[in-house]
Amino acid sequence: MPKENRKYKDSVFVDLFYSDETAAKNLLSLYNALHGASLTDESLIKKVKIEDILYKNFNNDISCQVNNEVFIFGEHQSTVNPNIPLRYAMYAGRAYEQILDKRDRYRTRLVKIPTPEFYVFYNGKQDYPAQRELSLSDAFMARPGGNSMELKVTVININTNKAHRLLADCRVLREYSQFVETVRAYRNEEDAIKKAIEECIGKGILAEYLIRKGSEVRNMLVAEYSYEEDLAVKQEEARQEGISQGISQGISQGISQGARQERTRIALRVLASTKSIKKTAHILDLDEQTVADIAAANPAIDIDVRETD
């Protein structure tokens, strides 16, 4: 089995706010909207890029430093994952490794670090509140003490029907949301992406960006939506094995021997199909070590030995 392509592709969200020639201006606009500020100096934006923490196939996350603050943003077009605070905790550590001098961790004096802020922008089809806060402590197995670690992520629904105040304050984010909704409206039509781009240009929605990068945007969207659809199909196949009937709780919590046996049975079926520990863990929302242990206990399962990262 050939080794899967590990080259990560930027989403339109990342291109618009991180990679494009207008990204610094767009990020500064987003910062101003979040903080009620009016900064104009784009040189204040210092980009930080970390891969393979939040998402597996696409770069759907961006981070940057502005003055004394560091921001981590992620985009969701499907259900918001409750494990995002854990992923952000891992992401933050990697980000600080880039921002700080390696010698700082060994200094005897207190080293000041940029204040972190964590956001997820949700624009999926499922109903979701205009704003919600997710906490790392929700995942703790025991009640946290006074010296426990905490991390909070603000999830903002940027669908236009939720009318979050951020959309009024940040034009580029509002137009990005309108663009996604337009693409979604044409989803079942032939040349859907081409039609959506043409409509948005006609209405002045991200018009300059789409005129300049229309073909690139089409390629990004084709790859992005193909991945979303492929993942949805695999998740539905797993649900048909009984996960949605209460077995999923047993899989994630291991609350009984019967549930553990069911977890193993389903994991083996998915492993046999994907031949990948990472893909199986992603589909079933399990940690990779759990899936690796199941695979090790069942040597008849054929796993791609070249899956090393």
What is d(CA 104, CA 260) in angstroms, rounded to the nearest whole number? 45
Q: What mean pLDDT value characterizes the chain?
A: 81
Average pLDDT score over residue span 71-97? 86
Query: What SS3 class is residue 122?
Result: strand
Q: Is the pLDDT of residue 58 over 80?
A: no
Nearest to 59, CA basis, from 68, 48, 69, 70: 48
Element holding 59 (H helix, E strand): strand 58-59
Reference 184, options 227, 263, 125; nearest CA is 125
CA atoms of 86 and 56, how far apart (whole Å): 15
Question: What's the predicted TM-score (pTM) here?
Answer: 0.69
pLDDT at 5: 39
Q: What span, in angstroms and rounded, lies between the C-alpha atoms of 16 and 108? A: 41
Report the pLDDT value the prediction gives residue 204, as an integer from 0 to 100: 95
pLDDT for 226: 52
Of residues 227 and 177, more confidence is placed in 177
Assess contact for 5 and 214: CB atoms under 8 A. no
DSSP codes of every residue in 125-186: SS---SEEEEEGGGG-SS---TT----EEEEEE--GGG--HHHHH-HHHHHHHHHHHHHHHT
Residue 115: helix, strand or coil by DSSP?
strand
Cα gap 133→139, rounded to integer Å: 14
- 272-301 tens-digit pLDDT: 878 888 888 877 778 888 888 888 888 777
48's tokens: 């930080």
Sign of CA dihedral 137, 90, 224, 74: positive
> For the residues 113-123, what does the mean pLDDT come to?
93
**Mean of the pLDDT values across residues 214-222?**
86
For tokens 């989403």, name the residue: 11
* Lowest model confidence (mean pLDDT) among 51-60, 101-110, 160-169: 51-60
Residue 230 has pLDDT above 50, yes or no: no
pLDDT at residue 1, rounded to an integer: 35
Work out the pLDDT band at 2, boundaries 50, 70, 90: very low
Is 89 exposed, middle or buried, given 0-12, 13-18 or 19+ CB atoms closer than 10 A? middle
CA 309 – CA 296 distance, rounded (Å): 17
Give residue-wise pLDDT tens across range 178-196: 999 999 998 888 888 889 9
Of residues 256 and 81, more confidence is placed in 81
